[in-house]
Amino acid sequence: MTEPTTAVRPSLQAFQDELARKLAESADRPLASGWLGVSWQGVRALLPLAQAGEIFHPTLLQRVPHTQPWVLGVTSLRGSLTLVVDWVRYLGLPRQTCLHDGDDTVYWISFSPSLGLGAALCVDRLLGLRTSADFVVDETEQCPAGVRQLCRDAQGQRWLELDLIAWAQSPAFLDPRLPAFARPSPMSDAVRSRDA
């Protein structure tokens, strides 16, 4: 009988401790690891460390009616209301075939508090720290909105460098309600009262 995969996989706490140790070691020299590699639904992404917050195991998730399909719900992380996002769907990307062993582990990675936005990305794989030396920029494809650049690793696998700063400034991300439930603009309110 095979042992469960959780027996050989490092715990989330051990991963975070190792990440904190590596970041501390790089404090007095140029940052060698600029990204955390992640994956969701088979799509690989590079999350800039300066834009990422903490890694959480999922907690109670409250669904939110009348929101875009990429909104998975809201939850409380460290006492703050946090929007949990299916970023593959938000970017309008097709889901890829998942190549891992069927493990159902999910993590939430919060946005950095410096972005001033209570949101978290849903990921199913943490792929470690990555540097620019690990990739070449792929300029053959156009980047979706919210993606800084497309990269390829030595095996030719495609990675998206996410730009969470752009997300935090995007009206579509800041107001994820379905159009029929979106708040009317002040101008449309003024027109409505004038016509009444």
pLDDT for residue 73 is more than 90? yes
- The whole-number average pLDDT for the span 22-30 is 51
**Residue 172 to residue 132: CA distance in whole angstroms:** 30
Q: How confident is residue 192, by pLDDT bands cut at 50, 70 and 90?
A: very low
- Environment class of 158 (CB within 10 Å of its CB; exposed 0-12, middle 13-18, buried 19+): middle
- pLDDT, position 142: 87
Structure confidence at residue 187 as a pLDDT band (50, 70, 90)? very low
DSSP 92-153: TPPPPPP-S-S----EEEEEPGGG---EEEEESEEEEEE-GGGEEE--SSPPPTTEEEEEEE
In the predicted model, what is the mean pLDDT of the chain? 82
**What does the pLDDT read at residue 11?**
66
CATH for 9-176? 2.40.50.180
* Predicted confidence (pLDDT) at residue 136 exceeds the cutoff of 80: yes
Please report, rounded to a whole number, the percentage of residues in the chain having pLDDT higher than 90.
Answer: 62
Is it the case that residue 63 has pLDDT exceeding 90? yes
Residue 97 is predicted with a pLDDT of 57
Q: Which two tokens stand for residue 122?
A: 């849903």
Structure tokens at 166: 């752009």
Q: Are 36 and 129 in contact (CB under 8 A)?
A: yes
More confident residue, 140 or 163: 163
Residues 92, 160: Cα–Cα separation, whole Å: 13
pLDDT of 17 > 90? The answer is no
**Could you tell me the two tokens for 137?**
């920029």
Whether 35 shows a pLDDT value over 90: the answer reads yes
